[in-house]
């Protein structure tokens, strides 16, 4: 079992909808959490990071962290076709462990 | 400012051959990482180096060795390549170990036949 688990998807949403991506982690020592976006054939790039319980908003993106439930989520509001990519959740605790990623497709 | 540079971008090896993947960063980062990415598996950590002079095993270290040559460079060596090591390899760096984002190189697509 991976230390960071994600639903592999694929997740498909219509343009303009909210996309909800979820992630759980097993190591309670994890201190920081990251969401990366990866387009096909490209390197991962950071979207957001979160360290404290609660919500963190950045434009159309909101990250949510619940350390008691060991749960991290990413909401994408007003989804655009350009958001179609694989989204990787990562937990940092000295090293950085990634989930398998969720493939998101936003249909025009 | 190049960020994280990996070489080579593509490589085909025969089973049993050896090779070294090179990685260099110009951001003065302390931590460096090597990941492999296989379909449906996400990024799996092979080795990491929290600081110059230190290296630690990650999730899948078997069949690999690493060297943190200096603060800038972190190499990954396959001593005797196996078809199971066919993958895309990413090098990454971050300012410190825990709470800063990792920046990734462009990846190396390795095929072992």
Task: Tell me what pLDDT residue A87 has.
Answer: 97
Q: Given CA atoms B7, A47, A93, A69 in this order, what sign does their dihedral have?
A: negative
For residue A52, the chain B residues in CB contact (below 8 A) are: none
| Ranges of residues in chain B whose predicted pLDDT is under 50 | none
* CB pair distance less than 8 Å for B98 and A43: no
The long-range contacts involving A66-72, CB below 8 angstroms and separated by at least 24 positions, are: A67/A28, A69/A24, A70/A24, A70/A25, A70/A26, A70/A28, A71/A22, A71/A23, A71/A24, A72/A22, A72/A23, A72/A24, A72/A25, A72/A33, A72/A35
pLDDT recorded at residue A1: 66
B residues 23-82 lying closer than 8 A (beta carbon) to A: 33, 35, 40-45, 48, 50, 56, 58-59
Taking contacts as CB-CB distances below 8 angstroms, the residues of chain B near A34 are: 101-102
Res B7: pLDDT: 96
Question: Is A94 in CB contact (< 8 Å) with chain B?
Answer: yes
Q: What are phi and psi of A79, to 5 degrees?
A: -55, 140
For residue B42, which residues of chain A lie inside 8 Å, CB to CB? 2, 6, 88, 98-101
pLDDT for B96 equals 78
Would an 8 Å CB–CB cutoff place A20 in contact with chain B? no
CA angle A69, A95, A45 (to 5 degrees): 85
pLDDT score for A31 = 87
pLDDT of residue B2: 81
pLDDT at B41: 83
Residue-level pLDDT, tens digit, chain A, 108 residues: 678 999 878 999 999 999 999 999 999 988 899 999 999 999 999 999 999 999 999 999 999 999 999 999 999 999 999 999 999 999 987 788 999 999 999 999
- What integer pLDDT is reported at residue B14 of this predicted model? 98
pLDDT, position A8: 76
CB contact under 8 A, A97 and B59: yes
A82 in Cβ contact with A28 (< 8 Å)? no
């Amino acid at each position: 079992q991976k230390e960071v688990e994600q639903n592999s998807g694929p997740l498909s949403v219509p343009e303009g909808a909210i996309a909800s991506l979820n992630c759980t982690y097993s190591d309670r020592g994890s201190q920081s959490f990251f969401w990366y976006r990866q387009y096909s054939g490209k390197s991962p790039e950071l979207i957001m990071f979160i360290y404290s319980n609660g919500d963190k908003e950045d434009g159309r993106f909101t990250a949510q962290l619940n350390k008691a439930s060991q749960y991290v989520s990413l909401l994408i509001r007003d989804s655009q076709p350009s958001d179609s990519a694989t989204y990787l959740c990562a937990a940092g605790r000295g090293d950085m462990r990634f989930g398998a990623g969720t493939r998101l497709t936003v249909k025009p | 400012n190049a960020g994280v540079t990996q070489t080579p971008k593509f490589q085909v090896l025969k089973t049993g051959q050896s090779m070294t993947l090179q990685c260099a960063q110009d951001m003065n980062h302390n931590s460096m990482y090597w990941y492999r990415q296989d379909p449906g598996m996400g990024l799996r950590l092979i080795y990491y180096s929290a600081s110059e002079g230190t290296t630690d095993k990650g999730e899948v270290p078997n069949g690999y060795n690493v060297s943190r040559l200096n603060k800038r460079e972190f190499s990954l060596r396959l001593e005797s390549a196996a078809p199971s090591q066919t993958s895309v390899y990413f090098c990454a760096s971050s300012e410190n170990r825990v709470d800063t984002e990792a920046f990734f190189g462009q990846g190396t697509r390795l095929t072992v036949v």
